[in-house]
Chain A
Amino acid sequence: DVKVTQSSRYLVKRTGEKVFLECVQDMDHENMFWYRQDPGLGLRLIYFSYDVKMKEKGDIPEGYSVSREKKERFSLILESASTNQTSMYLCASSSGLAAYYEQYFGPGTRLTVT
């Protein structure tokens, strides 16, 4: 079974804190993704990575950065958390070998910034 794990299910942080969200996949997938999910807005892509040390901005990258030092691990960083970053964060991975491969998702991290 493909496994995508995220470091925390729930996280509470204060405004201005630096926040790290970690994601690990065990299927040797090339592609990894970070989304945020908000009611009525669906999934919005923050960043994705198609290879180690490679990254591309998604639709809403402002206020976020990412790191991919190893193939299996993709980190999302909130440099200075703000209350409007309170959301559910979902990590996903997929094979980059062909177009038809689906994404596999982690369980999500619900982040609250106070």
Chain B
Amino acid sequence: AQKVTQAQTEISVVEKEDVTLDCVYETRDTTYYLFWYKQPPSGELVFLIRRNSFDEQNEISGRYSWNFQKSTSSFNFTITASQVVDSAVYFCALKGNNFNKFYFGSGTKLNVKP
């Protein structure tokens, strides 16, 4: 079975704080891909990053960083020095051998207060 769990329903931080969004996944596929999407208040989901199951290197892009650990089946997302514009709902997603289908977590709503 494929499943993505985002246990944090909502997080509130004050601007400039660091925040980590957790993502835990389940899959029996040996090859799979993990994704993060951002959904700002406007509604449209925006792709942020993709990771394949063979690449456990962490990635940093500006204030964003991602920590992929197969041993714990986690793909966590950290925002450093958060800004008000980071306020959004963030979704983690999994795609396995059936590469027509994505499995989304329930999302984490991030509120960044000035």
- Report whether A104 and B47 are in contact in the complex, using a CB–CB cutoff of 8 Å: yes
Q: Which residue on chain A has the smallest CB distance to residue B42? A: A107
- Report whether A98 and B99 are in contact in the complex, using a CB–CB cutoff of 8 Å: yes
User: A43 CA to B52 CA in the complex, in Å?
Assistant: 22
Q: Which residue on chain B has the smallest CB distance to residue A48? A: B100
**A87-114 contacts to B (CB < 8 Å):** 88, 90, 92, 96, 98-108, 110
- Report whether A102 and B44 are in contact in the complex, using a CB–CB cutoff of 8 Å: no
Q: Which residue on chain A has the smallest CB distance to residue B46? A: A105
- Report whether B95 and A105 are in contact in the complex, using a CB–CB cutoff of 8 Å: no
- Cβ of A95 to closest chain B Cβ, rounded Å: 10
Q: Which residue on chain B has the smallest CB distance to residue A43? A: B104
Interface size range of chain B in the complex: 20 to 34
Q: Which residue on chain B has the smallest CB distance to residue A95? A: B99
User: A31 CA to B95 CA in the complex, in Å?
Assistant: 14
Most buried by A among B43, B47, B52, B101: B43
- Report whether B99 and A105 are in contact in the complex, using a CB–CB cutoff of 8 Å: no
Q: Which residue on chain A has the smallest CB distance to residue B105? A: A42
In the bound complex, residues from chain A placing their C-beta under 8 Å from that of B95 are 99
- Report whether B44 and A42 are in contact in the complex, using a CB–CB cutoff of 8 Å: no
Decide if B64 is an interface residue (CB 8 Å cutoff).
no
- Report whether A96 and B99 are in contact in the complex, using a CB–CB cutoff of 8 Å: yes
In the bound complex, residues from chain B placing their C-beta under 8 Å from that of A42 are 6, 91, 104-107
Q: Which residue on chain A has the smallest CB distance to residue B6? A: A42
User: A90 CA to B39 CA in the complex, in Å?
Assistant: 12
- Report whether A105 and B33 are in contact in the complex, using a CB–CB cutoff of 8 Å: no
Pick the residue among B35, B44, B101, B102 that contacts A106 (CB under 8 A). Answer: B44
Pick the residue among B43, B97, B101 that contacts A45 (CB under 8 A). Answer: B101
User: Which residues of A approach B to under 8 Å, CB–CB?
Assistant: 31, 33, 35, 40-43, 45, 48, 50, 56, 88, 90, 92, 96, 98-108, 110
User: Which residues of B approach A to under 8 Å, CB–CB?
Assistant: 6, 9, 31, 33, 35, 37, 42-47, 50, 52, 91, 93, 95, 97, 99-102, 104-107
